[in-house]
């Protein structure tokens, strides 16, 4: 799965697509970490608009990036999450540590302003 990304005002925006399972997570993680290493970021936004399926390895991807961002003093947010994924995030407790926004622009604005 290719990682579609953009860098806007100190925030790296990652648009995930397809299936986020154990087969895809390692490459995605490496891609995100490489992009973070190349930029002077203040935050990370992950969009789930085009995710068709996600298993527990996807939760690990999110939490690992949250840890990386937090260790560097940055902020992170999730956005554009469908109903079934939102339920998974709620059940896992993920939304207790990460904010969720309906739109990508709102997430970027919140992370940038934090």
| 68-94: pLDDT as tens digits | 999 989 999 999 999 999 999 999 999
CATH code for position 11: 3.30.750.24
DSSP assignment of 38-106: HS--SEEEEEEEEEEEE-HHHHHHHHHHHHHHHHTT-EEEEE---HHHHHHHHHHTGGGTS-EESSHHH
pLDDT at 52: 87
Q: pLDDT grade, residue 3 (50/70/90)?
A: confident
The Cα–Cα gap between 68 and 65 comes to: 5
Q: pLDDT grade, residue 113 (50/70/90)?
A: confident
Percentage of the residues of the chain whose pLDDT score is greater than 70: 97
Number of domains in the chain: 1
Question: What is the chain's mean pLDDT, rounded?
Answer: 92
8 A C-beta contact, residue 49 and residue 15: yes
Domain of residue 56, residue span:
4-113
Nearest to 15 by CA among 41, 54, 44, 53: 44
Work out whether the CA dihedral 82, 88, 17, 73 comes out positive or negative: positive
pLDDT at 90: 95
| 26-40: pLDDT as tens digits | 999 999 999 888 888
């Amino acid at each position: 799965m290719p990682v579609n990304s953009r860098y806007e005002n100190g925030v790296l925006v990652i648009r995930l697509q397809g299936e986020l399972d154990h087969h895809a997570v390692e490459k995605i993680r490496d891609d995100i970490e490489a992009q973070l290493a190349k930029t002077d970021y203040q935050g990370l936004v992950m969009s789930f608009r085009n995710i068709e399926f996600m298993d527990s390895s996807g939760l690990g991807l999110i939490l690992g990036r949250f840890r990386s961002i937090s260790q560097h003093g940055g902020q992170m947010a999730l956005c554009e999450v469908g109903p079934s994924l939102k339920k998974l995030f709620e059940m896992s407790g993920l939304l207790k540590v990460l904010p969720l926004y309906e739109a990508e622009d709102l997430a970027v604005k919140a992370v940038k302003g934090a």
